[in-house]
């Protein structure tokens, strides 16, 4: 025992000396933000924590094991499991699991099912820390919060923290196919080894669940929204159950994306009409079979009547009829249906921007109370910048949730360093004005406006089997920030970035400050070098890698980048005012008013709503054409600045991660310039204008950019 | 400095105590057989090694870094780099790089370019160990051999080892597609991140190259034989060059599979006729471009006129004309063409067994001297058991090499524990009799029979991006054993298994002996439960997962399992005697004679060559029908025995690897029974015979087995 203490001390000394040495030990990113590397001795000295007194439920056991792992790593201490109060103990529990906690009469009301309280108190004159909650899951979240306080070097002497999530369901959506590929995945194959499940239980899934629990994510949809009917077969239900078994100890539920045509495709029925009694029975039977294997199954996610997927529309039924049929199969078990609003019809000539609202607004009030409409943050499709979807706040009698895309399908994919939290905050804090000023999207989602029975967030996962989970170290920040914002849609992206940076790399301010600043501007940079001033969907077809503004010959108009930019000799931009598609009218009048005057509106959204001439000049006297080019330049320059910033960070990062980030930034720098040059060459081909004085011309002619082909671009699934 | 020594000592003590404790630290398999975990103190005490005196070339630097890594891990010692001889030094070098080595006048003749010598000598009364070779690559191989001696706990006091490979080119063939999928890959995506290359240099490739160097593999064909023309584009050549840059310091060359139609598909020429001057020029230009990027590029691998791939036959040219055209483009640069003999024509009614021989035997002598014909070990396609290909030894004026499949496409894929070295040895030690008795396949391949200019082995890789590289820990043994057998085709599979087991898990005899025995019988077991007595190709269509003997309706006869077993009311087996296809006549008469009499021949090959009635009885009075069933039972029982054996190994293996192997064995046990039951049900449907007394009937009826579908089975590539 003495030997082990000595060894621990020496390991800490060794670690401390390494931390200041020229070269830090290489890390491969697998540990994410749960690295638990040793803290500085000065900080550790003040921490009085030496034992854990916890409950015996599975989730409290998880909390305890994580605390032991974390304290061992951070402080080099083995926190013993104790049965009685002692000085320096961490006391975990719920009033139900612990008489001690119950007797403390802590203010747990208001923390709901998942909130927690962390408090430094004195018990029988012994200083202890209490992590208490109304449920085991709350205890688990409290344990992770406690560790994060050490990871970010907070003072722990007089803790009095209480926190609770503002949404009920905080989910990852995996667009993972049953063949192991991942649609819009840029970090290797699926982490779910569908083939060898349920027999082979990959320990990686436990680490996946731990990471999610640490940021409050409490569920995962484990298969692609473009769903295979097979996932409802007994064989695949058994596989899903094995995944559920591995996620459950960390407070996560499993959900499945289902194919609306499954009763035909898998069940052999002649129809999938949601009002057909046989179809209803089939779904009930399959749902019951799932709950038999997964008693805490979360529910279904459905992409119906969208992009070729089957749906109730195929049988002349409404989305509400389709969703409610599934909801009623799930209802007895407590499950939910998340029904995606991402629809646009192949035969509908209406502005794609408007179609989701047109479809769902008339159905408001017709959905059962265990249905949630899952709405993408913007009206089109995860563009670098979109206005908020007009559906937010417009549905007053229907549960609604937001879907964001953590995987950067349209924002540089795996390689570009883009911190997404500022973009998500922009959507969350948008004012819908639907119930007067201050009716922000976040408030709607939190259920504060209409008192929704269910509140939720969904993030399309950027996770794959790559050793670092997300393709690059900085993509991990988006997984992390998504969890934090799902927990609290009002959280500050900068504070989140700061926490993540400290936990993932270093808490040295000489590192944290410049890196956080670099992250915070990275989203505006990608907007600038891809689609500034309210442009959207200028990416190449199919894989969405690189620029493709010239594409104009695809079967459906709204598949073409030219549909969105509408660049011609006369001008650029999509007229969504009353003279155009009038999509603006889908917003509350006060919200629409903000975007109605091209002269005075926020120019970041200009071309989303207005077609303006190339010689347009805004009220603050910015002429469009040079301003557009200036944005591209600013974006390109920002990437160069990130390279410079990162180069200075070498002393604070291990070689392996330092090099990987540097290599990815080099790709981003080259591609930012590619974007700038290709877009400018394209615009010039339309407007015939020369470049402002001093502007570098595109490196190649337009034909060159048009000729580039990327047949093996990743993320296209099967 | 003192602190570090103390720390090292303590770490060793700690490790030693762990090694005897109940629970070993978990390992994820990434380190392969190069784990370098601490040796026992008693063994370490006797090792006098403390410094390295090496040369300054890239490969000698690699050797030195590996020795430092290995000695640090194994002995806890930092072997300092020194400039002068000191006691306990490892002295590395070649006569060219080191005056010291040159002056020692060691017997390096006969070691060729890649052999090495390891010797304990005394220099100025100082005991040192010399690792010497004629080339830097030999030094590198010697360094790995030296480390393996410690890993397997050999005495190091009086070393006098010299070794040299018996083949020139020892290659892995990666069937990796440019989209990241792997044809017949069961261990995740490709380790080559084609998308982010050449910018992103994954450190994993260095570990891949180290592992290969440790077993003497000196090259890799990095793309699928079903090759994309794109690989010859400038963009992909740059990617291949980046891979080559990472493999070169470890003595590995890069090769490319090329598509014969590339001049049309990529070059835009009207033809790919190998005699067309423009085509010739196109290949020369592309080859020159490759060598500009990769000065030590190895050459091309070609699958031509086979399974739908284009080839010289499309233009009325012979394989020799096609191969020589490419060979002449490579010749000035020192590159080679590996031309696969795996051909069978869609319009050829001849027994598929015979077609490769029929095509290539008449071309003997027509191939340039930098062409090698790459021949699969058997005449069909990597079955659990095949007779050797009749081409071996039959080509007397042509370089020939063997291709084996390390990835277990037909032998249980990722999950089944099957050690392949005994199967490869069976092929290698087969006597072709082509130049009299003793003309073994191995001798032919080693160039000892016909004095080939080039000798080589190719192994189809089982490597993917899974953390453990090969899908399970035991699949690593096949990668390892392939390298050892490519180096020395006469090596003993059991000795190889023993070395691998010690290095990968534990050198405890209580572990090594039962595990090696288990491995040694595992190949016969898979033959028994899949295709005993000379059956072949009974696997399900496309994915080759599980049994499919009933499949008989595919377009080409030789795609159907029923083509191979020819089971009917009257009997079973493929008549390849003079009354049948007469494939036997392709062998030398003495070899054919061994297989000509069904009564007396080795029954393991019976149904490869004879169609016999169900009531057939061999000379040793074994009746076919009960014997066939008995083989299935033996195979199934063997897997249960492996489960029992492995369960006893728990004290010697960490939990993580122990559990993974256990879980895979459980899958194998279930699937072995599935094979037995499905095959017996199928045979009974043909012969109408009842089961011998006491035999368990199949669990389900034949219809059940026929109904099973596996649409997401892995390994089917794009």
Sign for the pseudo-dihedral over CA of B265, B270, B271, B277: negative
When mean pLDDT is compared across B94-98, B249-253, B306-310, B411-415, the lowest value belongs to B306-310
pLDDT more than 70, % of chain B: 97
Spatial separation of the C-alpha atoms in residues B258 and B289, rounded to whole Å: 14
Lowest mean pLDDT among A3-12, A534-543, B662-671: A3-12
Find, among A346, A67, A186, the residue nearest to A667 by Cα.
A186
User: What per-residue string of b and e applies to B95-125 under the rule 16 or more CB within 10 Å gives b?
Assistant: bebbebbeebebebeebeebbbbbbeeeeee
Is the predicted pLDDT of residue B528 greater than 80, yes or no? yes
What pLDDT score does A344 carry?
Answer: 82
Closest Cβ–Cβ partner in B189, B656, B666 for A188:
B189
pLDDT at B222 over 50: yes
Question: In this model, does residue B605 exceed pLDDT 50?
Answer: yes
**What's the pLDDT at A307?**
83
- Between the alpha carbon of residue B170 and those of residues B113, B290, B458, B485, the distances in Å are 14, 21, 6, 9
Please tell me the predicted confidence (pLDDT) of residue B718: 54
pLDDT at B572 over 80: yes
Average pLDDT over residues B96-119: 96
Give contacts of B714 with chain A, Cβ < 8 Å: 179-180, 195
Q: Can you say how many angstroms the Cα of residue A312 is from the centroid of all Cα atoms in its chain? A: 28
What are the pLDDT digits (tens) for A71-121? 999 999 999 999 999 999 999 999 999 999 999 999 999 999 999 999 999
Give the phi and the psi of residue B563 in degrees, each rounded to 5. -65, -35
Cite the beta strand spans of A348-485 per DSSP E: 371-376, 399-405, 456-460
Strand partners, A90: A52, A129
In angstroms, rounded to a whole number, what is the distance separating the alpha carbons of residues B274 and B125? Answer: 65
How many C-beta atoms surround the C-beta of residue A689 within 10 A?
A: 13
Instruction: Answer for the pair A114, A135: CB distance below 8 angstroms, yes or no.
Output: yes
Look at residue A6 and tell me whether its pLDDT is greater than 70: no
pLDDT for B16 = 40
Decide if B308 contacts B259 (C-beta within 8 A). Answer: no
More confident residue, B16 or B213: B213
Residues of A with CB under 8 A from a CB of B: 3, 6-7, 10-11, 13-14, 26, 28, 177-181, 188-189, 194-196, 199-201, 203-204, 230, 414-415, 465-467, 656, 659-660, 663-664, 666-667, 711-714
State residue B48's pLDDT score: 85
Q: Which of A457, A484, A456, A481 is nearest to A470 (CA)?
A: A481
3-state helix, strand, coil in chain B (%, to 5): 40, 10, 45
- Binding-site residues on chain B for chain A (CB distance < 8 A): 3, 6-7, 10-11, 13-14, 26, 178-181, 188-189, 194-196, 199-201, 203-204, 230, 414-415, 465-467, 656, 659-660, 663-664, 666-667, 711-714
Q: Is the pLDDT of residue B566 over 90?
A: yes
Q: For residue range B129-147, list pLDDT tens digits in order.
A: 999 999 999 999 999 999 9
**CB-based contact A330:A337 (threshold 8 Å):** yes
Classify residue A249 by its DSSP letter: G
Query: pLDDT per residue over B270-307, tens digit each?
Result: 999 999 999 999 999 999 999 999 999 999 999 998 88
Is the distance from CB of B501 to CB of B516 less than 8 angstroms?
A: yes
Q: Which of B337, B281, B388 is nearest to B605 (CA)?
A: B388
Mean pLDDT of A528-541: 98
- The A80-81 sheet, strands edge to edge: A80-81, A51-53, A89-93, A126-133, A116-123, A160-163
Residues of A in contact with B667 (CB under 8 A): 196, 199-200
Q: Do B203 and A10 touch (CB under 8 A)?
A: no
* Residues B299-328: tens digit of each pLDDT: 999 999 888 889 999 999 999 999 999 999
The answer on pLDDT for B445 being more than 50 is yes
DSSP letter for each residue of B183-243: BT--SSS-SS-TTTTTT---THHHHHHHHHHHTT--EEE-S-SS--GGGGSHHHHHHHHHH
- Cβ distance B467 to A467 less than 8 Å, yes or no, reads yes
Question: What pLDDT, on a 0 to 100 scale, did the predictor assign at position B308?
Answer: 85
**CB atoms closer than 10 angstroms to residue B674:** 19
- What pLDDT, in 10s, does the model give residues A445-504? 999 999 999 999 999 999 999 999 999 999 999 999 999 999 999 999 999 999 999 999
| Whether the predicted pLDDT of A543 surpasses 80 | yes
Give pLDDT, residue A717.
66
User: B369-396, pLDDT tens digit by residue?
Assistant: 999 999 999 999 999 999 999 999 999 9
Region A142-159: mean pLDDT is 96
Average pLDDT, chain A: 95
Neighbour-count burial of A619, counting CB atoms closer than 10 A to its CB (0-12 exposed, 13-18 middle, 19+ buried):
exposed
Q: Which of B200, B465, B663 sits opposite A465 (nearest CB)?
A: B465
Q: In which band, very low, low, confident or very high, does the pLDDT at A306 lie, cut at 50, 70 and 90?
A: confident
> Nearest 5°: phi and psi at B168?
-85, -50
Q: Write the CB contacts of B662 (distance below 8 Å, at least 6 apart in sequence).
A: B643, B646, B647
The encoded tokens of residue B651 equal: 């004290």
pLDDT at B343 over 90: no
Cα distance between residue B73 and residue B343, in whole Å: 48
Q: How high is the pLDDT of residue B449? A: 98
**B265 phi/psi in degrees, rounded to 5:** -70, -35
Note the pLDDT tens digit of each residue in A197-248.
999 999 999 999 999 999 999 999 999 999 999 999 999 999 999 999 999 9
Q: Is the pLDDT of residue A10 over 50?
A: no
In the numeric block, the tokens 């009930």 are attached to A284
pLDDT digits (tens, 9 = 90+) for B54-90: 999 999 999 999 999 999 999 999 999 999 999 999 9
Predicted local distance difference test score (pLDDT) of residue A370:
98
The continuous run of DSSP H or E covering A337 comes out as: strand A336-340
Q: For residue A673, name the pLDDT band (cuts at 50, 70, 90).
A: very high
Q: Mutation test of the interface with chain B: which of A668, A714, A716, choosing the one with the most B Cβ atoms within 10 A? A: A714
Residue B17 has pLDDT above 50, yes or no: no
CB burial of residue A419 (10 Å; 0-12, 13-18, 19+): buried
pLDDT in tens, B629-686: 999 999 999 999 999 999 999 999 999 999 999 999 999 999 999 999 999 999 999 9
Helix (H) or strand (E) holding B9: helix B2-19
How do residues A244-287 score in pLDDT, each as one tens digit?
A: 999 999 999 999 999 999 999 999 999 999 999 999 999 999 99
- What mean pLDDT comes out for the span B218-245? 98
- A3–B7 C-beta distance less than 8 A: no
Tell which residue, B586, B552, B181, has the closest CA to residue B379.
Answer: B586
CA distance A523 to A540: 20
Q: What's the CA gap between B259 and A399, in Å, rounded?
A: 55
Sign of the Cα torsion A146, A152, A157, A158 reads negative
Contact residues for B637 (Cβ-Cβ < 8 A; gap 6+)? none
pLDDT tens digits, residue range B397-418? 999 999 999 999 999 999 999 9
Instruction: Report the mean per-residue pLDDT for chain B.
Output: 95
Residues of B carrying an active site annotation? 307, 381, 409
Per-residue pLDDT reduced to its tens digit, A19-76: 444 589 999 999 999 999 999 999 998 888 999 999 999 999 999 999 999 999 999 9
Is residue B609's pLDDT more than 70? yes
Instruction: Give the whole-angstrom CA distance, residue B211 versus residue B218.
Output: 11
């Amino acid at each position: 025992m003495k030997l082990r203490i000595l060894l621990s001390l020496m390991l800490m000394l060794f670690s401390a000396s390494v931390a200041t040495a020229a070269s830090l030990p290489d890390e491969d990113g697998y540990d994410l933000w749960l690295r638990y590397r040793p803290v500085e001795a000065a900080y550790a000295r003040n921490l009085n924590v030496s034992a854990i007194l916890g409950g015996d439920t599975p989730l409290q056991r998880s909390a305890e094991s994580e605390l032991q792992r974390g304290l061992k790593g951070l402080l080099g201490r083995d926190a013993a499991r104790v049965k009685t109060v002692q000085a320096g103990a961490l006391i975990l529990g719920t009033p139900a699991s612990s008489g001690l906690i119950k007797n403390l009469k802590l203010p747990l009301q208001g923390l709901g099912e998942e909130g927690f309280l962390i408090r430094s108190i004195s018990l029988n004159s012994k200083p202890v820390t209490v992590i208490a909650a109304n449920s085991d899951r709350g205890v688990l979240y409290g344990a992770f919060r406690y560790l994060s306080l050490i990871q970010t070097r907070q003072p722990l002497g007089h803790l009095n923290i209480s926190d609770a999530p503002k949404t009920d369901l905080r989910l990852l959506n995996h667009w993972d196919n049953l063949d192991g590929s991942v649609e819009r995945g840029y970090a290797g194959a699926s982490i779910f080894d569908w083939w060898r499940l349920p027999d082979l239980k990959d320990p990686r899934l436990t680490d996946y669940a731990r990471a999610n629990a640490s940021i409050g994510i409490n569920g995962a949809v484990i298969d692609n929204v473009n769903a295979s009917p097979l996932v409802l077969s007994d064989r695949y239900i058994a596989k899903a159950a094995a995944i559920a078994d591995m996620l459950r100890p960390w407070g996560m539920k499993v959900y499945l994306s289902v194919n609306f045509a499954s009763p035909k495709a898998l069940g052999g029925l002649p129809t999938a009409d949601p009002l057909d009694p046989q179809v209803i029975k089939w779904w009930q039977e399959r749902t019951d079979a799932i709950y038999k294997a997964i008693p805490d199954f979360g529910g279904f996610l459905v992409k119906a009547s969208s992009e070729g997927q089957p749906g109730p529309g195929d049988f002349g039924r409404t989305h509400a009829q389709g969703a409610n049929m599934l909801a009623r199969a799930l209802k007895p078990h407590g499950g939910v249906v998340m029904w995606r609003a991402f629809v646009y019809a192949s035969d509908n000539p209406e502005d794609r921007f408007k179609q989701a609202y047109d479809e769902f607004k008339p159905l408001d009030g017709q959905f059962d109370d265990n249905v949630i409409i899952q709405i993408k943050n913007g009206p089109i499709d995860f563009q670098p910048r979109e206005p908020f979807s007009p559906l937010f706040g417009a549905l007053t009698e229907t549960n609604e949730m937001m879907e964001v895309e953590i995987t950067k399908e349209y924002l540089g994919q795996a390689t570009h360093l883009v911190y997404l939290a500022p973009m998500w905050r922009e959507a969350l804090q948008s004012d819908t004005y639907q119930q007067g000023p201050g009716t922000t999207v976040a408030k709607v989602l939190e259920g504060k406006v209409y008192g929704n029975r269910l509140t939720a967030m969904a993030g399309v996962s950027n996770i794959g089997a790559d050793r670092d989970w997300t393709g690059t170290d900085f993509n991990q920040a988006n997984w992390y920030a998504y969890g934090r914002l799902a927990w609290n849609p009002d959280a500050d992206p900068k504070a989140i970035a700061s926490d993540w940076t400290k936990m993932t790399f270093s808490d040295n301010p000489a590192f944290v400050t410049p890196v956080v600043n670099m992250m915070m501007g990275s989203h505006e940079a990608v907007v600038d070098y891809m689609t500034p001033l309210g442009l959207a969907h200028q990416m190449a077809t199919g894989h969405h890698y690189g620029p493709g503004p010239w594409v104009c010959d695809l079967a459906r108009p709204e598949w073409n980048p030219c549909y969105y930019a509408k660049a011609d000799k006369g001008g650029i931009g999509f007229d969504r005012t009353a003279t155009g598609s009038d999509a603006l009218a889908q917003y509350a009048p006060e919200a629409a008013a903000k975007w109605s005057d091209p002269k005075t509106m926020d120019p970041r959204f200009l071309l989303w709503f207005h077609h303006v001439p190339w010689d347009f000049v805004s009220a603050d006297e910015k002429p469009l054409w040079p301003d557009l080019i200036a944005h591209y330049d600013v974006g390109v320059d920002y990437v160069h600045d990130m390279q410079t910033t990162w180069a200075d960070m070498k002393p604070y990062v291990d070689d392996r991660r330092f090099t990987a980030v540097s290599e990815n930034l080099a790709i981003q720098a080259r591609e930012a310039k590619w974007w700038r040059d290709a877009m400018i060459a394209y615009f010039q081909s339309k407007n015939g204008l020369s470049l402002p004085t001093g502007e570098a011309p595109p490196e190649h002619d337009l034909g060159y950019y048009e000729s580039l082909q990327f047949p093996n671009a990743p993320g296209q699934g099967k």
